[in-house]
Amino acid sequence: MTSSPTAPVQLSRRPKRADALRNYEKLLAAAREAFTEAGRSASLEDIARRAGVGIGTLYRHFPTRADLVQAIYVDEVEALSRSATELSQLEPWEALEGWLHRFVGYIATKQALADELFAVAERDAVAERDAVFAGCRTMLHAAGTPLLDRAQEAGIVRPDVTIDEVIRLVGGIAKIPAEPAEIQRLLAVALDGLRYRP
C-alpha cells in the first residue's frame, strides 16, 4: 500500500494577526538575506531596516538573536516539509528527485547560517535546543519517507535504503565546497545510484 504524505508538523510560532504575521515574515526574509550576505556580522538593526520595521518590532517577535536564527532554521525546514506534499502529485521518481533537489537548497541556506546556528547551540539551554533540532529532523524524515516508500513500491528505487541514508547521502553532497553546477552533477550521479536494477 502506498504511503500518503504526512501532514507537516508546525514548529514555528507565527503570529495569528495579519499585520503581525506580515511583519514576522518580512523579518524572517530580511534576516535570511542578511545572514547569507554578512554571516555573523549581520546586525539586528540592519535586519529591522531591511524589513522596513523598527527595532522594537523585531524584539517583540524575536526577543534574542538566538530566537531569530532558530526561527529562520525552522521556517526552512517547514517549507521543505510542505514541498513534499506538493511534489507527491508527481510520478514517484520525479517527486522524490524533486524533493531531494530542494533538500540541497535547504542545506545551502543552513550552511549560510551554520556559524549562527552553532553560536546559538552554545548559548541556548541544551534541552530546548535539542528539542527544536530533534523536531526538525523528525519533520524532514516524516516528509521524505512517503516519497521514498512510493518510489520503492513502484520498483524504481532500490529497496534496501532508508530515508535516513538518503538524507545523509544528499546532505553530504550538498556540503561539498564546489560550484552549484558541480554539486548538481554529483547529486545526479548519486541519485542514479538509488535506482533499482534487477
Max Cα distance, the chain (Å): 61
- Assess whether 93 and 45 both reside in one domain: no
- pLDDT per residue of the chain (198 residues) written in tens, 0 to 9: 444 444 334 456 777 688 888 999 999 999 988 887 877 788 999 999 999 999 999 999 999 888 898 888 889 899 999 999 999 999 999 999 999 999 998 887 777 666 666 666 555 555 666 777 788 889 999 999 999 999 999 999 999 999 999 999 999 998 888 888 999 999 999 999 999 877
- Assess whether 142 and 186 both reside in one domain: yes
- For residue 2, give the C-alpha cell: 502506498
- Assess whether 32 and 80 both reside in one domain: no
Residue 24: which domain range? 14-63
Considering only CA atoms, which of 2, 197, 198 is closest in space to residue 96? 2
- Assess whether 77 and 173 both reside in one domain: yes
Task: Determine the Cα–Cα distance for residues 108 and 106; give it in Å rounded to an integer.
Answer: 5
- Residue 3 is assigned to a structural domain of this protein: no
**DSSP label of 195:** B
- Residue 32 is assigned to a structural domain of this protein: yes
- Assess whether 133 and 38 both reside in one domain: no
Alpha helices in the chain (DSSP H): 18-38, 44-51, 55-61, 65-87, 92-112, 114-123, 126-153, 163-174, 180-194
Predicted structure pTM score: 0.79
Domain count, the chain: 2
- Assess whether 89 and 57 both reside in one domain: no
CB 157 within 8 A of CB 93: yes
**What value, to the nearest 5°, has the Cα angle with vertex 181 and ends 175 and 182?**
55
Q: Which CATH number do you get for residue 41?
A: 1.10.10.60
- Residue 9 is assigned to a structural domain of this protein: no
- Assess whether 102 and 158 both reside in one domain: yes
Q: Which CATH number do you get for residue 166?
A: 1.10.357.10
